[in-house]
Amino acid sequence: MAAIRQLLTKSVHTTTQILYQNKIASNFPQIRYISTTLNQMTDRKHIQLSYRDDIAVIKIDSPNSKVNTLSREMFPEFTSALEEVNKNDKCRGVVLISGKTSGFIAGADIKMIESCKTQDEIYQLSKMGQKIFFDMERSKKPIVSAIMGPCLGGGLEVALATHYRIAVNDNKTVVGLPEVKLGLLPGSGGTQRLPRLVTVPDALDMALTGKMVKAKKAKSLGIVDLLVEPLGPGISTPENRTLEYLEDVAVQVTKRLASQGGVKPKKKSMVRNLTDKAFEYNLIRDYVFNQVKGKVIGQTKGLYPAPLKILEVIKTGLEKGPEAGYEAEARGFAELGVTNESKALINLFHGHTSCKKNRFGTPQVEVKNIGVLGAGLMGAGIASVSVDKGYDVILKDMSQVGLTRGYNQIAKTLKDGVKRKKFSQIQADQIISRLNPQITFDKFDKLDMIIEAVFEDINIKHRVLKEVESITLPHCIFASNTSALPITDIAKGSSRPEKVIGMHYFSPVEKMELLEVITHEKTSKDTIASAVQVGLKQGKVVIVVKDGPGFYTTRILSVASAELFNLFQEGVEPKDIDRASKAFGFPVGNATLLDEVGIDVASHIAEYLSKALGASASSRAGIPILRDLVKNGFTGRKAGKGVYLYEEGVKGSDRQVNPGFYEIINKYKLPAPSGIKNDTETIQWKLASKFINEAVLCLQEGIVANPTEGDIGAVFGLGFPPMKGGPFKFVDLYGAQKIVDRLRHFEQIYGNSFKPCDLLVDHAKDSSKKFYSA
């Protein structure tokens, strides 16, 4: 027993596997799932049905779409095609394949869920999918999925319901159940089929994290039965040739399976058999699920209902059988579909998709060659994400020592990528060959864009701007990676200000997805289009904001951070602030974030923004405290001392507060005002209400273009809680009046720094006003 327990608890997510019981399909209730009469379905737009000898080939090819998604329009066509082949006595098997080289099925159309007005409608939607896939699974003729490209969410649920799965063995072909990232669970059989196809630990790992698995890994897990290798260049494109070859292989495999009388059960491995047997014991099953539940709550702080519901649904199927499992899945899908968390995450998904497009059009000159000035942490990061995506990059620094350090940072990033199997060593060598490190301006006259990442000093930036403009092409764009200096001021040093723009990357550049593009009054539309295009190619999600003090992200973070120092001054412990902010949903506690940003950086920005923004960005003693911390060398994690002490082997909440920090804070200590008890809720709302108010004020002033980009910037750049959707979606879901009430309560005590902005007050006065349409 101890050996079994040890084996099971090695996995991050564990449960069990069950044998499928066919009786569930016959016991299925009547549901409202298709309004179109199947016999009348002859004009199909999403599905193409053809025959190759005695094998039916069903091609999924949604019109006017780059990818296939399961939609209300597709379902009746899909079921009518299946009914037709099942009635065709000459047909011996079916191949299910995409007509697009872009992928198999990218998932279900989220609009189906959003169009549902009630929980019961979402429940019926789940039942519809389950019924269609049960009909497919019960087919007496073998159905083979031929997978090329992404096979995700509902797409994987389709494939799981087929009898055999073939996949192209390349990096673009991935399978996964990402519904948890939308605050949902797989609602068309995924929670029940995957655990009986692969080991339950692997099934839970995929369902609880939403991770995507490449084809080779999917084969080793047991999701994919056969791999085919992609084809090289020929008369047509490699993608088209590979898709045609995949279809050929799938047809041959289907013929073989039909002649054998169907798919034979696989022989289970010893580990798999051991796992199955172990989970037959209630004691072991309960123990493992309780362990997993504890880990989920620890990681999510209980703020995300979807992972817990996924655990519950899978466990129901294991304990009570498939029929109860599928019913629990439909009920769970419906319950999650009406939660604020799911609405917030779905809205973020739409926003993320929107910010992956260039709303400024195609630039007149495509950027192919980039120069990066400064090989420090940021400069090397910008160069890294540029060469990684195919750009030829010159990385320039003033010293050979700095240049070598930057080059080594990029080389290490590539080495780590090879280790994680993101790419091969040959590919890593090809990537770094596009990097040209140098300490001169040689070949800068060939560049299409220059991104400077030098020290945050306007005089230095003006100097390098004048230097490069004297040697670069007329169309060359000058982009400044600055977190606070006004782009308008930087552009004053340029002879062609229309070509000057801000590109604010976030550290570490290789990991942080957001890019904040900043425009000033003279920036041309074509320059904006080029900057956005470069950011998108670098793999960033891009927001475009107008110039102003702190732009958007730095501004709202600074305003919220000003309140952090008021809390310090009132004697609130840094660990209490961290616990409160993380309990609200921030991934990093606000006190820890100060150390991560760098107290010297925060001090520099605070000095500037407190003058530019006035009361909202000022705190009673924030700037003197920051000055004293910097003076004593307490600049944060990079110095080993800041708010906390950073000692080797000590992580997270185990870190101790820096005694020197206490000594400085005690010099400025003030009692909390009467009526203020700095409990968890008060700490949360002091920080969050100012954050939200300043974001809305930025929209009011036109700094941020729309609520979507405001939410994307706040979540992906500053860590605003994703399950709350960003500050604007949160106002819609939580209620503007409630937030205004909290701000006014604090305003009465602390003054104008908490004054709610006019736009937020307008939304509070009229509850019908929303930042997003319903």
| Residues with catalytic roles | 516
Find tokens 């995700």 and name the residue.
152
Q: How far is CA 301 from CA 85, 184, 380, 682, 723, in A?
A: 49, 17, 35, 18, 12
Residue count (the chain): 774
Q: How far is CA 303 from CA 13, 343, 539, in A?
A: 19, 14, 29
Residue 205 CA to chain centroid, in angstroms? 17
Q: How far is CA 464 from CA 90, 225, 396, 468, 493, in A?
A: 75, 58, 11, 6, 10
Exposed, middle or buried by CB within 10 Å (0-12, 13-18, 19+), for 768?
A: exposed
| Residue 51: strand pairing partners | 56
DSSP string spanning 533-576? HHHHHTT-EEEEEE--TTTTHHHHHHHHHHHHHHHHHTT--HHH
Strand 392-396 relative to strand 369-373, pairing: parallel
Sheet of 143-147, strands arranged across: 47-52, 55-60, 93-98, 143-147, 164-168, 226-228
- Residue 63: how many CB atoms within 10 A of its CB? 7
- Based on DSSP, count helices (H) and strands (E) in the chain, helices before strands: 32, 17
> What gap in Å lies between CA 357 and CA 692, rounded to an integer?
26
SS3 58: strand
Residue 599 CA to chain centroid, in angstroms? 28
DSSP string spanning 612-659? HHGGGG--SSHHHHHHHHHHTT--BGGGTBSSBB--TT--GGGSPBPH
* CA contacts within 13 A on the Cβ side of 618: 11
**444's tokens:** 């800068």
| Residue 94: strand pairing partners | 56, 143
> What gap in Å lies between CA 592 and CA 642, rounded to an integer?
9
**242's tokens:** 């590979």
DSSP tag of 637 = G
Q: How far is CA 616 from CA 559, 560, 592, 642, 758, in A?
A: 6, 9, 22, 24, 14
> What gap in Å lies between CA 507 and CA 601, rounded to an integer?
13
Give the start-end residues of each E strand in 374-414. 392-396
> What gap in Å lies between CA 261 and CA 163, rounded to an integer?
12
Find tokens 């991104």 and name the residue.
451
DSSP string spanning 295-362? HHHHHHTT--HHHHHHHHHHHHHHHH-HHHHHHHHHHHHHHHHTSHHHHHHHHHHHHHHHTTS-TT--
| Residue 181: strand pairing partners | none
* Residue type present at position 159: A
Strand 151-152 relative to strand 174-176, pairing: parallel
> What gap in Å lies between CA 557 and CA 389, rounded to an integer?
30
Sign for the pseudo-dihedral over CA of 218, 221, 225, 226? positive
DSSP tag of 163 = S
Residue 20, H or E segment:
none
| Residue 108: strand pairing partners | 70
Among 730, 712, 718, 774, which residue's Cα sits nearest to residue 348?
A: 712
